[in-house]
């Protein structure tokens, strides 16, 4: 029974085939820069311009201006002060010194840093005075343990 079905399918396939002709495959460049027809040039340029998503900068967009020496110096000084405060905080929390940072509020540029001590450790409140955004950190006090020998 299987042989009959296979032969019947094979006969239908062969009977349905007619003579097939093939021709030579010829490739031609479309872009005139690579030897294609020069009549395609304006069409391809128009297509490229429609797909171009970048725009020329308008005069309303401000360009980068190098900060003055005074602005750079102020920025460096603010970073140095913030670095010193952070260094003292880490030294106090992980070092052996006690209360090396005085509790209070420090202002560095647009950043206001409030330092206080709680039973949990050192409490820092960072406030960006320009935006009003506030972040509060509580850094636990590290106490080294004595090892017995």
Percent of the chain at pLDDT above 70? Answer: 72
Q: How many Cα atoms within 13 Å fall on the side-chain side of residue 2? A: 0
- Once rounded to an integer, what is the mean pLDDT over residues 125-136? 88
Q: For the whole model, what pTM was predicted?
A: 0.42
pLDDT tens digits along 109-126:
788 888 888 888 788 888
pLDDT tens digits along 23-48:
888 888 888 888 888 888 888 888 88
In this structure, the number of other CB atoms found within 10 A of the CB of residue 113 comes to: 19
Residue 15 has pLDDT above 80, yes or no: no
């Amino acid at each position: 029974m299987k042989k009959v079905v296979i032969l019947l399918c094979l006969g239908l396939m062969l009977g349905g085939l007619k003579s097939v002709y093939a021709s030579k495959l010829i490739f031609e460049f479309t872009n005139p820069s690579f030897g294609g027809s020069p009549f395609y040039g304006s069409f391809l340029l128009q297509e490229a311009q429609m797909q171009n998503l970048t725009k020329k900068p308008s005069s309303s967009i401000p360009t980068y201006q190098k900060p003055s020496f005074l602005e750079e110096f102020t920025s460096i000084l603010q970073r140095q002060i913030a670095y010193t405060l952070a260094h003292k905080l880490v030294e106090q929390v992980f070092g052996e010194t006690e209360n090396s940072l005085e509790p209070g509020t420090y202002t560095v540029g647009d950043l206001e840093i409030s330092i206080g001590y709680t039973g949990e450790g050192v409490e820092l409140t960072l406030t960006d005075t320009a935006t009003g955004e506030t972040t509060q950190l509580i850094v636990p006090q590290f106490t080294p343990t004595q090892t017995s020998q």
